[in-house]
Structure 1
Amino acid sequence: MSTRTGQCMCGAVTFTAKDVPATYGACHCEMCRRWTGSALLAVSVPAAGITWTGEAHIKALHSSDWAERAWCQRCGSGLYYHVTAEGPMSEHYEIPVGLFDDASGMELVSEIYIDHKMPGWAIAGDHKRLTRKEILAKFGIPEDGP
C-alpha cells in the first residue's frame, strides 16, 4: 500500500490517497460502460484516506439506489464510484486508475461483469474474471437486482 496523488484532466480537482493498494480491477457492467465509454478500471481506496482539493468542482449523482458517481464539473473527468448503502463497501471509493499522477507498479487482478463486456474488448493476462451472476451471489443481491 502506498500514498498516491492524482487529479482530473484540467487540474481543478486534485487528491491525495493513502493506503492505495497496488492492485485494481475492471468493471464491465452497463453503468460503468456508459459512464466511461468502455470499462471502469479502478482501485478501491479507503474513504478515510482520501483528501480532495477543489471540492467546489465535484458533482455527484446517485446513479442507483446504493451508489453514486462523481466527476469534475469543469472538465468532466470521472472522479469516483462510491457505494452509499450501509456496509463495508461504503468505506471505500473506487478511483479510476488513470487519475493517478503515477500508476506505476499497479496490476490488474480482476474483471467483473465479464459477460457484459463490449464486443471485441478483451484485457490480456491471467486474472480473476467473474460474471454478473457470480458478483450478485458474492454480495447476496437477488438476481433481479442491479
Structure 2
Amino acid sequence: MTVRHARCLCGAVRVTIRGDLDDIAACHCSQCRRWSGHVWAAVPVPDDRLEIEGEEHVRWFKSSDKAERGFCDTCGSSMFWRGFGRGETDVAVGCLEPPTGLHLQRHIWTGSKGDYYEIADGVPQEERQ
C-alpha cells in the first residue's frame, strides 16, 4: 500500500495518506484563488484513508453552504477543502512531501480563472467542476 505524508509550513499539522491517489485538480474559482493566493491544486482522499496529527491546530472556515476549508492556526498554511457529506477531504498537493509521483489531471472552474494568466499546459479544462 502506498503511504504519503504531508505537512503545513511549520509542521504543527502532519498528514498521513494511505492508498493510491490519482485525481489532482487545479481549481481556478475565485474562492480558491483567494484562499491559496493563486490556483488551488488538491487531491481528494477518502476520510478513512486520511490521518491528521496536530488536528488541534486545524481551523475550519465555512466558505459556503456546501464546503469548508482547513488551515493551520500556527502558520496559516491552506491545507484542506471538504464538501459537506462527501466522505472525503481534498488535500493541498503543495503540502505533500516529494517525490509525489502524481500528475495534474484537470483544471476546473476555468470559466472564472484570473485574468492575469493563461492555461496552456495541455491538461483538460472544465469551465465548471
**What TM-score results when the alignment is normalised by the length of structure 1?**
0.82
Matched, 1:39 2:35: no
Larger Rg: 1
Q: Describe how 1:19-30 pairs up with structure 2 within 5 A.
A: 19-30=19-30
Which ranges in structure 1 are unaligned for 5 or more consecutive residues? 136-146
Aligned to 1:138: none
Pairwise CA distance, 1:3: 1.7
Identity of aligned residues (%): 33
Q: Counterpart of 1:5 in structure 2: which amino acid?
A: H
Q: Counterpart of 1:93 in structure 2: which amino acid?
A: T
Q: Describe how 1:3-22 pairs up with structure 2 within 5 A.
A: 3-22=3-22
Q: Secondary structure at the match of 2:19?
A: strand
Q: Secondary structure at the match of 1:130?
A: coil
Q: Distance in 1 between matches of 2:43 and 2:64?
A: 20
Pairwise CA distance, 1:103: 4.2
Q: Counterpart of 1:38 in structure 2: which amino acid?
A: H
Q: Distance in 2 between matches of 1:103 and 1:40?
A: 19
Q: Which has the higher helix share?
A: 1
Q: 1:125 aligns with which of 114, 121, 125?
A: 121
Which ranges in structure 2 are unaligned for 5 or more consecutive residues? none
Q: Counterpart of 1:95 in structure 2: which amino acid?
A: V
Pairwise CA distance, 1:123: 4.0
Matched, 1:101 2:97: yes
Q: Counterpart of 1:118 in structure 2: which amino acid?
A: G
Pairwise CA distance, 1:18: 1.3
Q: Which runs of 4+ in 1 moved over 6 A?
A: none
Q: 1:112 aligns with which of 96, 104, 108?
A: 108
How many residues are treated as equivalent by the alignment? 129
Q: Secondary structure at the match of 2:101?
A: coil
Q: Distance in 2 between matches of 1:15 and 1:56?
A: 13
Q: Deviations over 1:7-65 (max 9, x none)?
A: 00000010101124144110011110110111111111111111111111110011110
Which of structures 1 and 2 has the larger relative contact order (alpha carbons within 8 angstroms, sep 6+)? 2
Contact kept, 8 Å, 1:23 with 1:43, in 2: the verdict is yes
Tell me whether 115-124 or 32-41 shows the greater mean CA deviation: 115-124
**What TM-score results when the alignment is normalised by the length of structure 2?**
0.92
